[in-house]
Chain A
Amino acid sequence: MFRNQYDTDITTWSPAGRLHQVEYAMEAVKQGSACVGLKSNTLVVIGSLKRSPHAELSSYQKKLAKIDDHIGFGIAGLASDGRVLIKNARTQAINHKYTYDTPISVQRLVLQISDKSQVSTQRSSKRPYGVGLLISGYDEQTGTHLFQTEPSGNYYEYKAIAIGARSQSARTYFEKNYQTFEEADEETLILHALRALKGTTGDNVELTSKNASISIVGKDRKYKLIEEEQLEPYLAKLEENAAATTEQQPAEQQDDVDEEMVQ
């Protein structure tokens, strides 16, 4: 998309009925490193590719966060904006449990976050949050859920989805395989997530226990993060099975990116 005279203010509509500032915010999400999510009827897995601004020197940006025992977030885009939404979601979950003595339902939390995001698309004094979320969760009554939220305040529910840079290859992989997810076991789901992530790394970048992380939540399964050493056995399995899995699309090109701000 190119600059035009209707994109300066969040509060200005273009003649085509678009809010360009909101769309630009969505671009920030596309520049962030990938986040993938998939679910079975009992478990939801989110995988993320962590970026590090200076390969050898710096740490890797955290992209997965626990919101409550039954809900997790994965972020793509401006990590600092992501932290604000994470903090807000945690408070919402705590307050709901205090008031109603029951865990907040995933959809209700997603709605609250989305409504918050929408507010900043209709105030001239604010800007949209430059972050997209993948929200995993489990409700006793309704089972597993996987949602995506956008800076616009829109949200969607998915069986499997990927967002961020080079995520199309992950989405294509999911489209080919999602029918087997419903009955899949924990290990299978995690391997699918890692395989999907592999396609998003781009040239010359390997998926390692340093730059990948997995979160899992579900029925009788409190939120758990799988990182670093704990991830090794799964990555090793990935190598073994490499020959047997469905082939992936080649990674796409992408524009220059401000690596520090966008994770």
Chain B
Amino acid sequence: MTTHISPQMASSGTQHGKFEPYVNNGGTTLAIPGKDFVIAAGDTRLSTGYSIHTRQSSKVFQLTDKCVIVTAGMQSDASTLHKTMHARLVHYEHAHGKQMSTEAIGQMLSNMLYGRRFFPYYTFNLVAGIDSKGQGVVYGYDAIGSYQSVEVGAMGTGQSLIQPLLDNQVAYKNHQLVPSKELDLERALSLVKDSFTSAGERDIYTGDSVEIAIITQEGIKYETLQLKQD
């Protein structure tokens, strides 16, 4: 049996407390858009407190042929959110005879999250897909649906370790000399892998392995990267 530590116990040492509906299951997610591709990734460690539930739990969920969502936060809210999104997508396909566009999915998620404004989904989402113009796009969200298109997005317990690095290396922020070359898939993939290995070193909740989804016009390919298990 795992040792259950309620927030009450951890701080004050008392045994009884109010029911706490939220828990952070740890982990980190990342998504990088390119001209005609987008990469989305999430580590596969699931934890609570100082315990690991499993080293193989996916944070990535495929929505359409060209769009995925990757979610950090509380796993039960994440999987319920994904199931609900999927049902909405099937409904849309029946009604419209085609799959939902990435932009439409982006807006829909915002609406779904705000619909729970007063008992939020404890989820931190990145929607990554190819938009109607054929370009890669990533939308980043907070728990209650505020969203925008981002040049690079990282969420979860390793967010603060990865986001500044990628702001510099993908979006070229604070560079004296901005390279003229546009971001290609190989460099983006390499940055994703380095980001996770680095975050895995310092963030105790990030590790085990990374599930990477590479989305192009041709479709979605999945890769796995092994990380340290400590």
Residues of A within 8 A of B (CB): 66, 68, 90-91, 94-95, 97-98
Contacts and interface: CB of A to CB of B under 8 A. Distances in A.
Given A90-B91, A91-B91, A98-B83, 8 more contacts: A66-B94, A90-B94, A94-B87, A94-B90, A94-B91, A95-B87, A97-B90, A98-B87
Contacts of A66: 94
A97 B94 CA distance: 15
The prevalent SS among residues of A at the interface is helix
Contacts of A98: 83-84, 87
A98 B91 CA distance: 12
Nearest to B89: A94
Interface residues of B, number: 6
B87 A97 contact: yes
A228 to B, nearest CB: 14
Contacts of A91: 91
Nearest to A94: B87
15 contacts: A66-B94, A68-B90, A90-B90, A90-B91, A90-B94, A91-B91, A94-B87, A94-B90, A94-B91, A95-B87, A97-B87, A97-B90, A98-B83, A98-B84, A98-B87
- Going nearest first, the 4 A-B pairs with the smallest beta carbon separation are A94-B87, A90-B94, A98-B87, A94-B90
The prevalent SS among residues of B at the interface is helix
Contacts, number: 15
Contacts of A97: 87, 90
Contacts of B87: 94-95, 97-98
A98 B80 CA distance: 9
Contacts of B91: 90-91, 94
Nearest to A90: B94
Interface in B87-103: 87, 90-91, 94
Interface in B168-203: none
B191 to A, nearest CB: 35
A91 B95 CA distance: 11
A91 B87 CA distance: 9
Contacts of B90: 68, 90, 94, 97
A1 B186 CA distance: 75
A251 B94 CA distance: 36
B39 to A, nearest CB: 28
A191 B228 CA distance: 59
Interface in B76-127: 83-84, 87, 90-91, 94
B90 to A, nearest CB: 5
A94 B84 CA distance: 10
Nearest to B94: A90
A97 to B, nearest CB: 7
Contacts of A90: 90-91, 94
Contacts of B94: 66, 90
